[in-house]
Structure 1
Amino acid sequence: MKRTLAALRIAYCLVTALMLASAQLAYGHAFPTAQTPSAGSAVSASPKEVFIDFDAPIEPAFSSITVSDAHGKSMTDGNAEVDSPNQRRMSVRLMPLTPGDYTVAWMVTARDGHHTQGHYNFTMR
């Protein structure tokens, strides 16, 4: 009986430790929850800005958005900015876009130092 209780306690501790470790791994990474223009969309008017909302607050000094055309030319007008009241939103102003395909590339650092990055495309008609 004592061995069974000891084994159950050890198993409980191991399961709890694994759950806490996996929660900690997921906690610090910031991933997009919404984008404007959205991924894969086709817009008919040139957007003035690109907005990306993340699921965690991000560090402004270590986060960026770039928008480039099909030839790799940057179409951003200045640096990306993190919204002061909503530190989960980052945006960048754009130069006027002509019809074509565009790539939005983002890199962010969450408050606890974890880095994430990604990209998506949209089309200007």
Structure 2
Amino acid sequence: MRNILLAAAFTLLTSVTLSGSAYAHAKLEAAQPPIGGTVKEAPTELDLKFSEELNLKFTGVKVTGPDKQEVKTDDAMLMDGDKTFMVSLPKGLAAGPYKVEWHALSQDGHKTHGEYKFTVKP
């Protein structure tokens, strides 16, 4: 009887441990320009650091400027073991608030999305 209880406990513990990692999602941990921050110089790139490895093909951003127009991004790539998503921004961004809307697909197939704001104030 004791062996059956130990086997059941082991099975339950293994199931809980594996399901926790199977349902992990890529969470935005940090960004440059910083989340909610103000920068003195217009950034030339956007770096989003995630908690999980990403799939580049299904990860992206939309950046909206102070004039409510979409800012063109370019040269998307993954860095830092595929956990940091980077895109180039055009030179000379105008002063004002910017909104970054992101979506990501982690290597395990889970989709996440979110947004944050930063301000350029020379």
Equivalent pair of 1:101/1:121 in contact (CA under 8 Å): yes
Give the one of 7, 11, 19 matched to 1:13: 11
% identical equivalent positions: 27
Equivalent residue for 1:76? 72
Look up the SS of the partner of 1:83 in the other structure: strand
Letter in 1 for 2:61: I
Which has the higher Rg, Structure 1 or Structure 2? 1
Unmatched 5+ stretches in structure 1: none
Q: Normalized against structure 2, the TM-score is what?
A: 0.82
Aligned residue type for 1:66: K
> How many residue pairs were aligned?
120
Q: 5+ unaligned residues in a row in structure 2: which ranges?
A: none
Q: Give 1 or 2: higher strand fraction.
A: 2
In the alignment, the residues of structure 2 paired with residue 44 and residue 56 of structure 1 have an alpha-carbon distance, to the nearest angstrom, of 30
After superposing on structure 2, the runs of 4+ consecutive aligned residues of structure 1 that deviate more than 6 Å are none
1:92 partner letter:
V
